[in-house]
Structure 1
Amino acid sequence: MEGVSSGPIDGSSLPLAKWRSEFSKAFQYYLDRSTPHSVGRWLGTAGLALIYFLRVYYLQGFYIVTYGLGIYLLNLLIGFLSPKVDPELEVMDGLSLPTKGSDEFKPFIRRLPEFKFWYSITKAFCIALVMTFFSMFDVPVFWPILLCYWIVLFILTMKRQILHMIKYKYIPFSIGKQKYTGKKYSTGSSSLSRD
């Protein structure tokens, strides 16, 4: 039974599989190289989002695709702002966020890391942009109702998330947080006594 394959080997499928493997390796290589360049990555995604919104505005359509994209982005944002271990849902062995001032400090770990957040948003905009080239996705809808519904959904979801952040005393951003640099040793000239 050695050397017996499970299916027919087509001569044309081997070059396609080889090309796919090489493309996958090259894509992963450049994706790995982009990891430390967060500002450049986000600027590229902002440019892609601008292209998408200009295309939707120019075509005056694809509002249902944009609504679906908005719901998906809201879902990603909630994952990005949420802790990995939700104190309400899971009782962990000391791995939850501190709830009292006497609790030990535990760092905030996101449920969705920044790189995966960026990558998912970029993929979503790419897919939505490709969908605008196919007229079957241009479902006629009254877009102001979709926009109002999305805004209400965004406000209610963010209100719940902010109340959760206040209740469990965590901030998912490092802006304004105290940074510990260690002890600073003073030189002999600053230890002079006062007269």
Structure 2
Amino acid sequence: MMSASDSEASGGPLQPLMVQYAQAQRQYQQWLDKVTPFVLQRWLSTAGVLALFMLRIVFAQGWYIDAHAIYLLNLFLAFLQPRFDPSLQDDLMADEIEEGGEATSPLPSNRDDEFRPFVRRLPEWQFWLSATRATVIALFCTFFEAFDVPVYWPILVVYFFVLFALTMRRQIQHMIKYKYVPFDMGRKVRYGGAGHR
């Protein structure tokens, strides 16, 4: 058996750094756990950091290659999509029916169907965390000239808007075809209470 002194000796000179790193990770996770319930405040802080990033680009007149915007668009699309793609489910359902089985869809097909909540491919928490991290890293990178690659920025802006229009059009068509809305709209209905008939 190894004693406590043997385990400390096996860490070598990096042991104090590893202890500090583990402590910093715990404190970071505790902070994340504390801010989890404050959805509006989290998104407002991310919008503030994004505004700082944009102001930095405007005032520094540089860093126009912004893969950051395309990354955020990619996150947003994953946030809008269901975890289980109904188009893939259609193929599986057709196979099940051919084999004589009963097919079920992850999305409700009509009003009388049982309640199935919309499960996102990228949950809100992960969307916020990834967007915030990407924005902080992008802001940090603007302080280094090595990341300021000279480009003709209007082309990038047009490219982003064309990409946004095409991907959102496709996503909206997907939502219409499979009849789902990825947002909670209207009043919440509670089941099983006095108001339920």
Normalised to the residue count of structure 1, the TM-score between the two structures is 0.84
CA distance in 2, matches of 1:18, 1:69: 33
Query: Is the CA contact (8 Å cut-off) linking 1:95 and 1:106 kept in structure 2?
Result: no
- The 3-state SS of whatever aligns with 2:12 is coil
Query: Could you say what the CA RMSD is over the residues aligned between the two structures, in angstroms?
Result: 2.4
| Alignment partners' CA distance in 2, 1:34 and 1:52 | 22
Question: Closer, same or farther in 2 for the Cα pair 1:177/1:86, shift >3 Å?
Answer: farther
User: Is 2:22 the counterpart of 1:56?
Assistant: no
Report if the CA contact (8 A) 2:79-2:123 is conserved: yes
Aligned-partner residue type, residue 82 of structure 2: P
Gaps of 5+ in 1: 186-195
Displacement, 1:140? Answer: 0.5
What is aligned with 2:163? 153
Structure 2: segments with no counterpart, 5+ residues: 94-102
Q: Taking every aligned residue pair, what percent have the same amino acid on both sides? A: 48
Which AA in structure 1 matches 2:179? Answer: K
Instruction: Quote the Cα distance in structure 2 between the aligned partners of 1:105 and 1:2.
Output: 55
How far the C-alpha of 1:2 sits from its partner, in A, is: 7.0
Residue 89, structure 1, aligned to residue 99, structure 2? no
Question: Is the CA contact (8 Å cut-off) linking 2:86 and 2:105 kept in structure 1?
Answer: no
TM-score if structure 2 supplies the norm length? 0.83
Q: Equivalents in 1 of 2:147, 2:105: separation in Å?
A: 45
Cα distance change on mapping 1:177 and 1:160 into 2, 3 Å: farther
Q: Which amino acid aligns with 2:61?
A: Q
Q: Which runs of 4+ in 1 moved over 4 A?
A: 1-5
For 1:99, what is the secondary structure of its paired residue? Answer: coil
Aligned length: 181
